[in-house]
A and B are shown apart, each in its own frame.
Chain A
Amino acid sequence: MTTAAQKVTPSKADASQDASPHHPASETKRWIGLGVLAVLLVLVLSLVLVPIFTGAQFVLALVAMVLLGAILLLWNSVRMLVGETEVPPEFEHVTMKRVSAREQKLDRKKAVLRALKDLEHELSIGKITRDDYEDVAETYRDEAKILMKELDTDLDAHRPAAERMLENFLQKMARSGDPSDVPVGQWQRARDNAGEKDAKDEDVRATRILDPAKVEDGRATLLIDPAELDPVLLASRADAVENDGGKAVLRVACGACAILNDTDAKFCKSCGAKLAGETGMA
Chain B
Amino acid sequence: MWNSFPLFGSALILCVMLAAAYTFAVGVNAGSKGSVRSLTSARLGAYGTVALIAVSVLTLAYAFLSHDFRLRYVAQHSDRSMPTVYLLTALWGGQDGSILWWLFLLSLYIGTCVLWLRNKFPELQPYVIATLMVVVLFFTVLMAFPANPFATSIAGARGDGGGMNPLLQNFYMIIHPPSLYIGFVGCSIPFAFAVAALVTGRLGTEWILAIRKWMLFAWMFLAIGNTLGMLWAYEELGWGGYWAWDPVENAAFMPFLVATAYLHSAMIQERRGLFKVWNVFLVCLTFFMTIFGTFLTRSGAIASVHSFAQSGIGTYFVYFLVAIFAFCVSLILYRWPELRDLPPNRKFRWAALLSGWLVIGVTGPGVWFLLNNAHMGLSMRVLTFTAIIALTVFVSVELVYRRLTRDIPRAQVAPYIESFLSREFTFLLNNWALLGFLGFVLVATTFPMISEALWSEKVTVGPPYYNAWVQPLGLVIYVLMGVGTLFGWKKTSPSAFKKACIAPVVATVAAVSAHLAFGKAIGFPAVVWGDSVYAGTMGVVLRAINAYSPGLGVAVAVFNVAVIAQEFVALFQARSKTKADATPVMLYLGICVIGLVPAFLFKVPAVAVVGPVLAMFIALVQLPATSRRRYGGYMVHFGLVTMLLGFTGQSWNINKETSLSPGQTFAVELSPTSRYEITYKGPRMEVDAQKRMIFADLTVTKNGVELGAASPAKFIYKKNASSPTTEVAMLHTTRDDLYLVVGNVNPETKLAAFQVHVNPLVMLIWLGCMLMVIFSFVCMWPELAPNESRVWQFARGTAGAAASIWLGLVLALMPTQAFALQTSSLHAGTVKIDNPQEKEIFASLRCMCGDCARDPLSTCACSQADAMRTRIRSQIAKGDSRDKILESYAAEFGTASLSVPPDRGALKAIYLGPLFLIGGGGLGLVLMMRKWRKNRPAEATGNRGEKDKYDSRLEDELKNLDENL
Please state if A197 and B205 are interface contacts (CB–CB under 8 Å): no
Q: What chain B residues lie within 8 Å of A87 (beta carbons)?
A: 36-37, 40
* Nearest CB of A to B194, in Å: 15
Please state if A114 and B55 are interface contacts (CB–CB under 8 Å): no
With contacts A63-B62, A113-B961, A117-B961 known, is A269 near B789, CB below 8 A?
A: yes
Comparing B267-275, B597-605, B645-653, the segment that makes contact with chain A is: B267-275
B34 interface contact, C-beta 8 A: yes
7 further A-B contacts with Cβ under 8 Å, apart from A126-B500, A129-B493, are: A70-B19, A74-B44, A77-B41, A118-B271, A143-B937, A269-B789, A269-B791
For residue A83, which residue of chain B has the nearest CB?
A: B37
Q: What chain B residues lie within 8 Å of A94 (beta carbons)?
A: 36, 39, 119, 122
Please state if A270 and B490 are interface contacts (CB–CB under 8 Å): no
Comparing B214-222, B230-238, B325-333, B570-578, the segment that makes contact with chain A is: B570-578
* Whole-angstrom CA separation of A269 from B792 in the bound complex: 9
Please state if B574 and A124 are interface contacts (CB–CB under 8 Å): yes
For residue B19, which residue of chain A has the nearest CB?
A: A74
Please state if A129 and B495 are interface contacts (CB–CB under 8 Å): yes
For residue B273, which residue of chain A has the nearest CB?
A: A111
Q: What chain A residues lie within 8 Å of B58 (beta carbons)?
A: 59, 62-63, 66
* Nearest CB of B to A176, in Å: 28
Please state if A88 and B489 are interface contacts (CB–CB under 8 Å): no
A52 interface contact, C-beta 8 A: no
B669 interface contact, C-beta 8 A: no
Q: Identify which of B36, B496, B573 contacts A96 (C-beta below 8 A).
A: B36
Task: List B residues at the A interface (Cβ < 8 Å).
Answer: 19, 22-23, 26, 31, 34-45, 47-48, 51-52, 54-55, 58-59, 61-62, 65-66, 84, 118-119, 122-123, 200-202, 204-206, 270-273, 411-413, 418, 487-493, 495-497, 499-500, 567, 570-571, 573-574, 577-578, 626-627, 785-792, 937, 939-946, 948, 950-951, 953-954, 957-958, 961-962, 964-965
Number of contact residues on A: which range applies?
Answer: 35 or more
Total A-B Cβ pairs within 8 A: 237
* Whole-angstrom CA separation of A193 from B172 in the bound complex: 46
Q: Identify which of A111, A116, A117, A127 contacts B626 (C-beta below 8 A).
A: A117
Within A192-226, the residues touching B (CB, 8 Å) are 194-197, 200-201, 204
Q: What chain B residues lie within 8 Å of A146 (beta carbons)?
A: 939-940
Convert A92-122 into 0s and 1s, putting 1 for each residue whose CB lies closer than 8 angstroms to a CB of B: 0011111100011001101101111111111
* Nearest CB of A to B427, in Å: 13
Please state if A96 and B123 are interface contacts (CB–CB under 8 Å): yes
* Nearest CB of A to B922, in Å: 25
* Nearest CB of A to B104, in Å: 12
Please state if B44 and A121 are interface contacts (CB–CB under 8 Å): no
Task: List A residues at the B interface (Cβ < 8 Å).
Answer: 24, 28, 54-56, 59-60, 62-63, 66-67, 69-71, 73-74, 76-78, 80-81, 83, 87-88, 90-91, 94-99, 103-104, 107-108, 110-111, 113-122, 124-129, 131-132, 136, 138-146, 148-149, 194-197, 200-201, 204, 259, 269-272
* Whole-angstrom CA separation of A197 from B939 in the bound complex: 31
Q: What chain A residues lie within 8 Å of B937 (beta carbons)?
A: 139, 143
For residue A80, which residue of chain B has the nearest CB?
A: B41
* Whole-angstrom CA separation of A184 from B832 in the bound complex: 86
With contacts A74-B45, A88-B40, A128-B488 known, is A149 near B950, CB below 8 A?
A: yes
Q: What chain B residues lie within 8 Å of A145 (beta carbons)?
A: 948, 950-951, 954
Please state if A67 and B500 are interface contacts (CB–CB under 8 Å): no
* Nearest CB of A to B340, in Å: 14
Q: Identify which of B26, B489, B789 contacts A81 (C-beta below 8 A).
A: B26
With contacts A95-B122, A114-B961 known, is A127 near B500, CB below 8 A?
A: yes
* Whole-angstrom CA separation of A149 from B946 in the bound complex: 14
Q: Identify which of B35, B787, B950 contacts A204 (C-beta below 8 A).
A: B787
Please state if B493 and A132 are interface contacts (CB–CB under 8 Å): yes
Q: What chain B residues lie within 8 Å of A97 (beta carbons)?
A: 123
- Top 8 A-B pairs ranked by shortest CB distance? A127-B488, A70-B51, A122-B488, A77-B44, A73-B48, A74-B48, A56-B65, A107-B204
Q: Identify which of B37, B45, B55, B957 contacts A66 (C-beta below 8 A).
A: B55
Q: What chain A residues lie within 8 Å of B412 (beta carbons)?
A: 104, 108
Q: What chain A residues lie within 8 Å of B786 (beta carbons)?
A: 200
Q: Identify which of A126, A148, A196 contacts B953 (C-beta below 8 A).
A: A148
* Whole-angstrom CA separation of A66 from B944 in the bound complex: 64
Please state if B55 and A125 are interface contacts (CB–CB under 8 Å): no
With contacts A73-B51, A124-B574, A270-B787 known, is A91 near B119, CB below 8 A?
A: yes
Main secondary structure of the interface of B (DSSP, over half): helix
With contacts A127-B492, A127-B496 known, is A138 near B944, CB below 8 A?
A: yes
* Whole-angstrom CA separation of A127 from B422 in the bound complex: 10
Q: What chain B residues lie within 8 Å of A196 (beta carbons)?
A: 119
Main secondary structure of the interface of A (DSSP, over half): helix
The CB with the most chain B CB atoms within 10 A, among A77, A107, A115, A119, is that of A77
Q: What chain A residues lie within 8 Å of B788 (beta carbons)?
A: 24, 194-195
* Whole-angstrom CA separation of A214 from B55 in the bound complex: 59
Q: What chain B residues lie within 8 Å of A63 (beta carbons)?
A: 55, 58-59, 62
Please state if A91 and B36 are interface contacts (CB–CB under 8 Å): yes
Please state if B41 and A56 are interface contacts (CB–CB under 8 Å): no
* Nearest CB of B to A248, in Å: 21
For residue A62, which residue of chain B has the nearest CB?
A: B58
For residue A137, which residue of chain B has the nearest CB?
A: B490
For residue B44, which residue of chain A has the nearest CB?
A: A77
For residue A268, which residue of chain B has the nearest CB?
A: B790
Please state if B119 and A81 are interface contacts (CB–CB under 8 Å): no
With contacts A138-B944, A142-B941, A144-B954 known, is A66 near B54, CB below 8 A?
A: yes
Please state if A70 and B52 are interface contacts (CB–CB under 8 Å): yes
Please state if A269 and B790 are interface contacts (CB–CB under 8 Å): yes
Please state if B954 and A80 are interface contacts (CB–CB under 8 Å): no
* Whole-angstrom CA separation of A204 from B38 in the bound complex: 31
* Nearest CB of A to B205, in Å: 6
Please state if A118 and B489 are interface contacts (CB–CB under 8 Å): yes
Q: What chain A residues lie within 8 Å of B953 (beta carbons)?
A: 148
For residue A101, which residue of chain B has the nearest CB?
A: B411
For residue B627, which residue of chain A has the nearest CB?
A: A121
* Whole-angstrom CA separation of A46 from B474 in the bound complex: 51
* Nearest CB of B to A148, in Å: 5
For residue A63, which residue of chain B has the nearest CB?
A: B58
Q: Identify which of A73, A116, A122, A139 contacts B47 (C-beta below 8 A).
A: A73
With contacts A90-B119, A270-B787 known, is A107 near B206, CB below 8 A?
A: yes
* Nearest CB of B to A63, in Å: 5
Q: What chain B residues lie within 8 Å of A54 (beta carbons)?
A: 65
Q: What chain A residues lie within 8 Å of B943 (beta carbons)?
A: 142
For residue A135, which residue of chain B has the nearest CB?
A: B491
The CB with the most chain A CB atoms within 10 A, among B47, B48, B272, B418, is that of B48
* Whole-angstrom CA separation of A118 from B948 in the bound complex: 23
Q: What chain A residues lie within 8 Å of B567 (beta carbons)?
A: 125
Q: What chain A residues lie within 8 Å of B272 (beta carbons)?
A: 111, 115
Q: Identify which of A88, A115, A132 contacts B271 (C-beta below 8 A).
A: A115
Please state if B944 and A128 are interface contacts (CB–CB under 8 Å): no
* Whole-angstrom CA separation of A260 from B547 in the bound complex: 69
Please state if A107 and B273 are interface contacts (CB–CB under 8 Å): yes
* Whole-angstrom CA separation of A111 from B954 in the bound complex: 13
With contacts A96-B123, A148-B954, A269-B789 known, is A125 near B40, CB below 8 A?
A: no
* Whole-angstrom CA separation of A9 from B490 in the bound complex: 56
* Nearest CB of A to B153, in Å: 20
Q: What chain A residues lie within 8 Å of B122 (beta carbons)?
A: 94-96
Q: Identify which of B36, B570, B957 contacts A125 (C-beta below 8 A).
A: B570
The CB with the most chain B CB atoms within 10 A, among A67, A70, A143, A195, is that of A70
Q: What chain B residues lie within 8 Å of A76 (beta carbons)?
A: 44
For residue B205, which residue of chain A has the nearest CB?
A: A107
Please state if B62 and A136 are interface contacts (CB–CB under 8 Å): no
Q: Identify which of A80, A139, A148 contacts B941 (C-beta below 8 A).
A: A139
For residue B206, which residue of chain A has the nearest CB?
A: A107
* Nearest CB of B to A121, in Å: 7
The CB with the most chain B CB atoms within 10 A, among A60, A63, A107, A259, is that of A63
Please state if A272 and B790 are interface contacts (CB–CB under 8 Å): yes
